[in-house]
Chain A
Amino acid sequence: MLEKVEVGKKVKVLDIEGKEDSLRKLQAMGIRKGKVLEVVQKLGRSIVVKVDHSKIAISKGLAQKIKVQ
């Protein structure tokens, strides 16, 4: 799960579970199956990841639904 990845680590997205709008939006924003994410920072209940050349802050609740390797 993305939520557990340490700051500075890079991981590959295996699957995104669920059909909620927020997950669909994340995929539209570039967090898609097969993409490599870098965890940039974590603070409180949010986490910042970098995908390609964009950075996205998401809540940990959402990060739980992103399966990574």
Chain B
Amino acid sequence: MKINVALVGNPNVGKTSLLNHIAGTTLRVGNWAGTTVEKKEGKAFYKGYEIYLVDLPGIYSLEPFSEAEQVARDYLLSQKPDVVVNVLETPNMERDLLLTAELLEMEIPTVIALNMLDEARRLGIEVDKEKLSELLGIKVVQTNGRTGEGKRELLEAIIQTYEQKIKPFPLKYSQTLEEYLSKVEGNTKFEKIRKSQELYGEDFDKLLKDERFAFAHGLFYKVVKKVNQGAFELTDSLDKLLLHPVFGLFFFLFLMFFMFKIAFDFSAPWMEWLDGFMNNFISPLIVYLLGESLFSRFLSEAVVGGVGFVLTFLPLIASILFILSLLEFSGYLPRVAFLMDGLMHRFGLHGTGFIPLLLGFGCNVPAIMASRVMETKRDKLLVLAMVPFMSCPARLVVFSFFAVLFFPNPALVIFLLYLFGVSVAFLTSFFLQKLVYRGSLHHMILELPPYRLPALKLVLRITWAHVKHFIYRAGTLIFAVSVILWAMLNLPPGVSNPKDSFAGYVGRALVPIFKPMGLEDWQITTSLIPAFLAREIVLSSMAVIYSVEEGKKEEFEPRKALQEQGVAFANALKESVLNLLNPMPKALEVKEEHSQLKSAIKNSMNPAQALAFMVFILLYTSCLGTVAVLQKEGGTKFALLFLAYSFVVAWVSGVIVYKLMNLLVG
């Protein structure tokens, strides 16, 4: 037997923690279909029932202020869950009871979970749950999302409510309001109210609002006893520092530096090791075991080289999402929005946008995943359209190669490129606000929840849920695209020179498009095709296409290779720890490679072409990982439109840079 349960409650009341305790490892994250609102779900098996729980977005009311309320309302009306669990933050019960009133109007089986029991105790707040249960006619349980206390009682209450179809007593409002309602038809109070709203308009609305508030207020005073007035609240003391205009900002910048450093420096050695493990061990092992054939090459190049390559980002994604979840569940994140609001508002964004944009300099993929902290759809999409222009280390690899080769002061060129990327990001946001998201930035309303020590298990599980989702993506979308890329380079069968492959043909067909920016060599345009996987690949694919660097074919010996991997693993462990101890961020350092390719490129390009090429690489979203997460967060249409947009912007900028350079240099 299956029971469908919806968790409904205000934001930050601990619904997710509660779900985590009940659902355990079955917890999954995704998006509500067709929206940018995050969806969490899981299930539990209890007393022969399969209890499926879905965590509806945190809302203060069912009135549709934004996408979140719309999603919750639609779910309740169309999916008709068997039982609704209304989760309340006990210390803020009076506020939370407004949503309770709206849920009671729907007259569906409901259970009330009084959460944050520990916080309420500390604040000296006592709730008479028996009385609350008697007054409303439904089960009331007390829970603690942090420890899982009350989980069993909640499951029991869900099953009893389901078996006995326990519906709340019909809500009684004042005589005036009830008279309005008696004049319309409807199965539930909710339906009658909806019809009355249409019929009577504003006066009715105002009356209804006041009645609901009065209900919440009255109920609150009937069941809540405050035994300890003016209890000490740690959050207030912390906020004196952390919201301080000077100290708070300083603390935030320090925290960001720390986050950047831990995430990137800690994961860099692991990413390098994974990369080596895929390319120097798994790949040759496949060929060693299966022999040299088209199929073994497909496995080692398309599967390991493509999907495996994207999977090397996992340590980075995991570390960033871990830190981000820590910040989120600790309650600090909304404070960032408050602190950075002054700066970000100038660009028409809310303060929270600062975090994903900054992370973008480290890697676009987790930065885009971090956009989930944005409060509204508009803000989220704006940030999504900006992050990919933040230049990441993968681009730096390409820039340093070309800048050192062609310019006397490469550092300045690279700095200007970074600056140019940031400008394009803000211009994009500016035009989007003018054209698509018209109307001024709506008012900031943000709850700053109390600081809470996040449960490590919860943070780890949420991180894992996101990592799992990314692996799923790597196995589907990323796999499909890397197979296509591989096929283009290796078909028709028996092709040995890239010139004769499909990629070579496409590359030559692309030449007229790239001619305005001075790129007339089919070798360069062809190298852009495999580089769709990730930008830095453009260098190695150029090396192959210019056939200057024959891959050094060493005899593969599984035992020796395994030993080497073991040593490399130990080194990665050592280095990641050492990196943490080093005060300077190492994420932005670049290693020198491809010495032979340099002379080949030097002969076939001039500085103007090189600069145009770098600008193109900077702006065009030539990164499969980024496109894959863009599709997850913003939808397929958004991802494809953005990809096309970035190509056009990159092309136009490349052409302008090329023409300007030619004018200046002569």
With contacts A29-B60, A43-B243 taken as known, whether A54 is within 8 angstroms of B443 at the C-beta atoms is no
In A36-66, the 8 Å CB interface with B consists of 40-41, 43-46, 48, 50-59, 61-62
Contact of A26 among B339, B341, B445 (CB under 8 A): B445
With contacts A22-B445, A43-B342, A61-B443 taken as known, whether A54 is within 8 angstroms of B95 at the C-beta atoms is yes
With contacts A25-B61, A28-B61, A32-B213 taken as known, whether A43 is within 8 angstroms of B443 at the C-beta atoms is no
Return A36 CB to nearest CB of chain B, in Å.
12
Contact B244 A54 (CB under 8 A): no
Which of B213, B239, B245, B444 is most buried by chain A, counting CB atoms within 10 A of its CB?
B444
- Cα of A21 to Cα of B61 in the assembled complex, Å: 12
Return A24 CB to nearest CB of chain B, in Å.
6
- Cα of A24 to Cα of B210 in the assembled complex, Å: 12
Contact B98 A44 (CB under 8 A): no
Q: B92 at the A/B interface (Cβ < 8 Å)?
A: yes
Contact B243 A58 (CB under 8 A): no
Contact B448 A48 (CB under 8 A): yes
Return B187 CB to nearest CB of chain A, in Å.
25
Chain B interface residue count, Cβ-Cβ cutoff 8 angstroms: 37
Q: Which residues of A contact B446 (CB under 8 A)?
A: 56-58
Contact B448 A56 (CB under 8 A): yes
In A1-40, the 8 Å CB interface with B consists of 19, 21-22, 24-30, 32, 40
Contact B444 A59 (CB under 8 A): yes
In B390-449, the 8 Å CB interface with A consists of 442-449
Q: Which residues of A contact B63 (CB under 8 A)?
A: 24, 28
Contact of A29 among B213, B239, B338, B447 (CB under 8 A): B447
Q: Which residues of B contact A41 (CB under 8 A)?
A: 239, 243-245, 338
How many residue pairs, one in A and one in B, have C-beta atoms under 8 Å apart? 103
Which single residue of chain A is at the shortest CB-CB distance from B91? Answer: A53
With contacts A53-B91, A54-B92 taken as known, whether A45 is within 8 angstroms of B341 at the C-beta atoms is yes
Contact B98 A28 (CB under 8 A): yes
User: What are the interface flags for B326-365 relative to A under an 8 Å C-beta threshold, 1 for contact and 0 otherwise?
Assistant: 0000000010011101100100000000000000000000
With contacts A43-B245, A45-B341, A61-B443 taken as known, whether A55 is within 8 angstroms of B448 at the C-beta atoms is yes
- Cα of A44 to Cα of B350 in the assembled complex, Å: 13
Q: B450 at the A/B interface (Cβ < 8 Å)?
A: yes
Q: Which residues of A contact B244 (CB under 8 A)?
A: 41
Q: B123 at the A/B interface (Cβ < 8 Å)?
A: yes
Contact of B95 among A44, A52, A62 (CB under 8 A): A52
User: What are the interface flags for B53-79 relative to A under an 8 Å C-beta threshold, 1 for contact and 0 otherwise?
Assistant: 000000011010100000000000000
Q: B172 at the A/B interface (Cβ < 8 Å)?
A: no
Q: Which residues of A contact B450 (CB under 8 A)?
A: 53
Q: Which residues of A contact B236 (CB under 8 A)?
A: 40, 50
- Cα of A25 to Cα of B443 in the assembled complex, Å: 11
- Cα of A56 to Cα of B95 in the assembled complex, Å: 12
Contact B443 A48 (CB under 8 A): no
Which single residue of chain A is at the shortest CB-CB distance from B246? Answer: A43
Which of A24, A29, A45, A58 is most buried by chain B, counting CB atoms within 10 A of its CB?
A29
Contact of B447 among A24, A32, A45, A54 (CB under 8 A): A54
Contact A55 B447 (CB under 8 A): yes
Q: Which residues of A contact B123 (CB under 8 A)?
A: 53
Contact A56 B92 (CB under 8 A): no
User: What are the interface flags for B229-241 relative to A under an 8 Å C-beta threshold, 1 for contact and 0 otherwise?
Assistant: 0000101100100
Q: Which residues of A contact B243 (CB under 8 A)?
A: 40-41, 43, 48
Contact of A28 among B60, B91, B448 (CB under 8 A): B60
- Cα of A15 to Cα of B236 in the assembled complex, Å: 26
Which single residue of chain B is at the shortest CB-CB distance from A53? Answer: B91
Q: B301 at the A/B interface (Cβ < 8 Å)?
A: no
Q: B225 at the A/B interface (Cβ < 8 Å)?
A: no
- Cα of A58 to Cα of B506 in the assembled complex, Å: 54
With contacts A40-B243, A44-B345, A57-B338 taken as known, whether A25 is within 8 angstroms of B445 at the C-beta atoms is yes
- Cα of A54 to Cα of B446 in the assembled complex, Å: 11
- Cα of A6 to Cα of B291 in the assembled complex, Å: 78
In B427-478, the 8 Å CB interface with A consists of 442-450
Contact B443 A40 (CB under 8 A): no
Extra A-B contacts (9), CB below 8 Å, given A24-B63, A53-B450: A26-B445, A28-B98, A29-B60, A41-B243, A43-B339, A46-B444, A54-B448, A55-B449, A56-B445
Query: B: which residues have CB within 8 A of A?
Result: 60-61, 63, 65, 91-92, 94-95, 98-99, 123, 202, 209, 213, 233, 235-236, 239, 243-245, 334, 337-339, 341-342, 345, 442-450
A-B contact pairs, 29 of them (CB 8 A): A19-B202, A24-B61, A25-B60, A26-B445, A27-B209, A29-B60, A32-B213, A40-B236, A41-B245, A44-B345, A46-B342, A48-B239, A48-B338, A52-B91, A52-B94, A53-B123, A54-B92, A54-B448, A54-B449, A55-B235, A55-B447, A55-B448, A56-B446, A56-B447, A57-B444, A57-B448, A58-B446, A59-B444, A62-B443
